[in-house]
Amino acid sequence: MNLTKQVRVLFLNEMEKLEKRLFRLEQGFELQFRLGPTLQGKDVTVYSNYPPPGSPYNRHKFHPLQWHNPTGREEDSDKFCKLDLQIAGSFQYRFNQSNGEGYIVVDPVLRAGADDHVVHLDCITLETFLSKCLGPFDEWEDRLRVAKESGYNMVHFTPLQTLGKSRSCYSLADQLQLNPDFSRPGKTYTWSDVGKLVDKMKNEWEVLSITDVVYNHTASNSKWITEHPECAYNLVNSPHLKPAWLLDRALWHLTCDVAQGKYATRGLSALIQTDQQLNSMRGIIWEDIYPKLKLWEFYQIDVSKAVEQFRSQNITGGKSDPKQLVIIQDPEYKRFDCSVNMDVALNTFIPNSNGPAAIEECCTWFRKRLEELNAEKHKQMNFHHEQAVNCILGTMTYERLAGHGPKLGAVTKKDPIVTSYFTYPFEEISLAEEELMMHQPDKACYFMAHNGWVMGDDPLKNFAGPESNVYLRRELICWGDSVKLRYGDKPSDCPYLWDYMRKYTEITAKYFHGVRLDNCHSTPIHVAEAMLAAARSVRPNLYVIAELFTGSEYIDNVFVNRLGITSLIREAMSAYNSHEEGRLVYRFGGEPVGSFVQPCLRPLVPSIAHALFMDVTHDNESPITHRSAYDSLPSSAIVSMACCATGSTRGYDELVPHQISVVSEERFYTKWNPKLAAPNPSEVNEKSGIIAGKKALNRLHQELASSGFIQVYVDQVDEDIVAVTRHCPHTHQSVVAVSRTAFRDPKTSYYSKEVPQMCIPGKIEEVILEARTVERKAEPYTQDLKFINGLPQYTVEIREHIQLGDSKIVKQAGITTKGPNEFVQEIDFENLTPGSVIIFRVSLDPKAQKALAALRNQLIQFSPHFSSGSLQDDQAPPVLKFPLATIASKLSIADLNQVLYRCDAEEQEDGGGCYNIPNWTPLKYAGLQGLMSVMVDIRPKNDLGHPFCDNLRSGDWMIDYVSNRLVTRGGACAQVGKWLEAMFSYLKQIPRYLIPCYFDAILLGAYTTLLDTTWKQMSSFVQNGSTLVKHLALGSVQMCGIGRFPCLPVLSPSLTDVPYRLNNITQEKEQCCPSLAAGLPHFASGIFRCWGRDTFISLRGLLLITGRHIEARNIILAFAGTLRHGLIPNLLGQGTYSRYNCRDAVWWWLQCIQDYCAIVPNGLAILQCPVSRMYPKDDSPPNPAGDVDQPLYQVIQEALQRHAQGINFRERNAGPQIDRNMRDEGFNVCAGADPVTGFVFGGNRLNCGTWMDKMGESERARNKGIPATPRDGSAVEIVGLSKSTVRWLKDLSDKNIYPFKGVTVQREGKEVTLTFSEWNQRIQDQFEKLFYVSEDPSDPNEQRPDLVHKRGIYKDSYGASSPWCDYQLRPNFPIAMVVAPELFTPQNAWKALEVAEKKLMGPLGMKTLDPDDMVYCGVYDNDLDNENSNRAKGFNYHQGPEWLWPIGYFLRAKLHFAKLMDQESYQKTVVLVKNVLSHHYTHLERSSWKGLPELTNENGQYCPFSCETQAWSISVVLEVLHDL
């Protein structure tokens, strides 16, 4: 795989609809879709409207994506489908018939200059121009040059089309024609001329151009809208607006009356100046207007007419609910023309008889109900009236009374009470006559709704649609110069409008590099989608910006996703102080300084929309009106340091002290004149306003983005001073801008002369610029009549690229050290006045630079990312002359256990422990996995404030721990330790704030190298397996290791391939065979590390399948050496402290020998391997290795012989010294094989010889010494395991590979031989009869039908001392199904497995008892001690909690028997298996232990008493994957 290609992975999950999440990607990225846990194993097809190579984009056309399965196996958890992203825009994906869906947004690539160089989005510095203020086209260049000379690289033009009568920049009369104002008499300019200028600006000036597109309205005087009134919301196509239109006309007539003084006697003159007058207005509307309009009548029914219709119709039918009777709105909205469903009425009001009196009574009830319905409509209209009055008075308050409002003065026809909501192109007549016109289509079609915006409304809903009452309730803030356009749902709803706007879009995209979506939040989103698709077909790399006022980031994301918006406009003017301004810089871009290096392949995570951060937009007032002229420069500097696109509006830099109105401004912008000597209202140059400062800031902004300064740190130095750092993670150069804002005017407000000292880490190379806003001699400001002029008395005093000693702002700079390798420059300011900016370029000190370059050079072996800024170190330590992969190749897997894992208990045994992070928690492992488990959470979030990172920054303790721990171990581990030590020697020489990032880079590289080394030593099943297989296989490394003290008994000295080492204390050679821990952290060390049962349940998956055959052989032979009484130990205790109290371990051991012979090449040779018998006789003292050696096959035979003869003994040292809870009878161990059935049996009611071995411990609950699950008699899994062994030995014996034909036993003084063939057949003949609980209640084989609780299952045991225990549903019979499937009738087995699936299967494990059982309890709490004998002291350990290892056998059994059913059953089972395993995959990834737990509480809930990672849990899942 290409190591530098950026790949993002999106995990899909059932029903996940992510249209409100933003996923931003770049061209050249690869996006992979993978199945999340809820979809694993299911047949999923992913579709996308991203076009296949060579095909055009069609947003409605979705293509299926092809799955790639890297392993080519049935286990396909790694499969993915992908998109190679080569085009910009918004693209949708969905899967399984919109079961889940989402969007991705691919950024455009912008290019400028004659060389077509790329302009990164974060390089953009944009300036907005009101196009109408550019003047005649032949003067544009001189006016636009101001942007070029001010350092901007993008110009935003407001629309260049013909304007409407209001002269608003956004009210367009003709969307296809260039504004004729730009032409001169005798010279008409066209779009082609504009295109040539745009090209010149791009190629010669390196300035790109964008313009607005306005889709949701057109000027009221647009000629085309009168020719095509269907394109607007009028009273013909939108009759629901008729009541609102009538109210609107009434308010117009009220305007006329007030203007003429008709209401003066009622306290309402034309000039409205008091709240009392507003109250009079309220009274007039309520008393005169509303009663006259009677708007409720448009929503009511003619009661008399409806009653007559009711009376005349046949009155028959059944009873209905009267509430179902509702008013049906008249679609034409005529007074009293609504109706009701007469069928419902006839079925609701039914007479008692056919007599006239009964019918009349019904009519009366019907009339009463209709009057109630009408009254509800009246009441509803009153609510609308109330809101309408409030909105009318609110508008009047703002427009006529408010200090910040326009103070319109007297009510006139030009300045009405409120802006009309609708056009009215006819002569004025009375309101009554106008109402008649409302129903005449030839006139009503010209009553068109104006556009506007609604405060707090849902932007995704159409406020002019029939579901909305915005116009009726007067909630619209109306633009009286524009008509709202009505597109409908699709082009066929209004063909002319769609076609017209498409042409408009294509013209725009042809000539401009991008568009600003005007009024985006109110534009129908489906319309904007279609238009932008048309624009991108003309210009694929279209830059799209928009300003959204949705009030919700999630709603913003809907627009960004569906429209493919590149940048959202954000404004510094929204900041109420310098602290907030700094926060916005941090919010809108960049990552924290010292961020971690992210891998090229990583999960796709949601992001925030890319920002175009503007100091002011053209819609808002000049900041000078709210702040001060002195603040323009420092606030610009703060904005310019943001790691995103930035922008401004023409006039800001010239210090224009008022808003340049998009509606009323008719003056022209000033031109550029570099030779200008004194301020001139028609011209500007670098000395005008803050232009010189802005030019330097814009160029710096572009340099920072193009040079990779992607990291940001914002420091609020004091109330007014903000320091913004931009940092480059490749060169580790920084640029630090210190800005002293002046929100308050320094002339009239107090600012302290004491400026806090600043500490800047590193070495200051230069002062990039220092600038101050200063006053100069000039005429006082007067607003020019022809040109938009700024304050002439201010200019910027600027000095660029000077040395620190030459600065006029810095008083002195001292160098100090903070720690051994942290150089800091202390800056004292003397002239950082309000309105000042100083920007430093900072490098690391030379020693740190050299160390970092050498470190990056070493890291190239892991990723080419580190190439930039790297340098070879000729004095590098010798260990670094070789790549780590070469050093790691000398490690054995046992060594890798030391390097990667080892929990605290294992380390303490060696005299150490896991690293403890102060104020947090100890690491889970001492090896690298302990660190990686923490960093895997920190890295993607860049959580540099985590205690882990604090510890790294504070000192070298963790760094030294990691290397020293390995160096002291000697051997190959020490070489890895020395390599780390050498790498850390560089790390210790760099600034502390960079240490977490580079510590992570070193360890991540080392970790991945070591994992590759591990997998290379494993089987092809692992090497070629999925990520899940590989990560589970690491459980083999995690669990199988060798500590300071060997856990296994010594093997026969004559055995080859046994590992040896030198004992550090005795200096003698000793065996060092790795052993398997049962689980971490509880069963990791000492005598509690190795258990016979756990070892041999785990051995097949962790050692045989992974290819660790020598380790498997040595463990099998070591346990063989401890055979005693025909059993192998439960607790091994190195063989000398063994307890022989389990009946099943020996059968798991025998199963593993069988598996070894089957899996390992020439595996049968193990039968001849020498076994050093520790106990040649039951009462022997422990014998040293080599004293008594036997071939393994003889030890196997002894185990079977002893079972056939019968085993009866009392445990040695019986009593509280070996088990403080067990009662006396429990120490008596018995086992044997039933001569009739062949079943292996054993145990008694007071001991527990199987894996369900919980012994009661609570005296309070009186369960102490009582086993929760004795499972005496013949446990089903032991019967299955013994059958498997006997069958196997029969087959070997038949082939003369095994020298014994059977077992010989003493029966009544006689020697009797039981052949393996006979034994095998007896079990086969009896099993189904005695273990299957038939679905037939009259089954003659059923001895205790009274105890049957579930039918169609297999018993958990046969012959238990408590007979009802035999019938409990537990997850043990699937074990027998896997090891001895021949015992089971396939149909019966399948049904039993279905019951187990339904009743026992949990998310990760299997319930250990049927939840319908009276003693079931699914939550294990070993600390609980109460009087409940079923729960106290964890008595329910195996009475409900969900253990993981049985699920492996359940799934394997399902797979086996599914193949015997039919293809459909098998496919469904594969889906089930994959889905279940996906939960294990998820747990494995999230677990800081990187393992699978021993058990969970019910329904997969976390159990704090469980081992966090358990050998057999990992092993069985590997076995399922192997079976797949």
DSSP per-residue codes, 611-627:
EEEES--TTS--GGGTS
Structure tokens at 755: 């400026």
Reported as type and span, the H/E element at residue 648 is strand 645-649
Rounded to a whole number of angstroms, the distance between the first and last alpha carbons of the chain is: 27
Distance CA(1467)–CA(74), nearest Å, equals 11
Q: Which residue has the tokens 């993978």?
A: 34
Distance CA(771)–CA(622), nearest Å, equals 21
Phi-psi region of 327 (alpha: psi -120 to 50; beta: other; left: phi over 0): beta
Contact 834, 746 (CB under 8 A): yes
Q: Where are the alpha helices (DSSP H) in 1165-1301?
A: 1192-1205, 1276-1294
Which contacts (CB < 8 Å, 24+ apart) does range 1159-1165 have? 1159/1100, 1159/1104, 1159/1105, 1159/1109, 1160/1104, 1160/1109, 1160/1112, 1160/1113, 1163/1109, 1164/1292, 1164/1297
477 CB-side CA count, 13 A: 10
Distance CA(438)–CA(333), nearest Å, equals 10
Closest listed residue to residue 62, CA positions, set 21, 93, 17, 30: 93
Residue 960 designated active-site: no
Contact 1094, 1512 (CB under 8 A): yes
Q: Is 1272 helix (H, G, I), strand (E, B) or coil?
A: coil
Contact 656, 684 (CB under 8 A): no
Distance CA(148)–CA(146), nearest Å, equals 6
* Residue of 385, 450, 513, 521 marked catalytic: 521
Secondary structure E strands in 654-754: 671-672, 683-684, 711-716, 721-727, 734-740
Closest listed residue to residue 682, CA positions, set 1286, 1305, 130, 133: 133
Residue 619 designated active-site: yes
Q: Is 515 helix (H, G, I), strand (E, B) or coil?
A: strand
Beta partners for residue 322, in sequence order: none
Distance CA(543)–CA(154), nearest Å, equals 11
- 1337-1353 core/surface letters (b: 16 or more CB in 10 A; e: else): eeeeebeeeebbebbeb
Closest listed residue to residue 937, CA positions, set 329, 523, 1498, 1486: 1486
Q: How many CB atoms lie within 10 A of CB 1497?
A: 21
Q: How many CB atoms lie within 10 A of CB 586?
A: 15
Structure tokens at 1267: 């086993």
* Residue of 122, 518, 720, 1189 marked catalytic: 518
Contact 101, 92 (CB under 8 A): yes
Structure tokens at 412: 């006139």
Contact 1245, 1365 (CB under 8 A): no
Q: Which residue has the tokens 């076994």?
A: 1171
497 CB-side CA count, 13 A: 27
Distance CA(1521)–CA(1474), nearest Å, equals 9
* Residue of 619, 828, 1012, 1523 marked catalytic: 619
Backbone angles phi, psi at 671, to 5 degrees: -100, 165
Question: What type of residue is 569?
Answer: I
Backbone angles phi, psi at 1242, to 5 degrees: 160, -175
Report, as residue numbers or ranges, the catalytic residues. Answer: 518, 521, 619
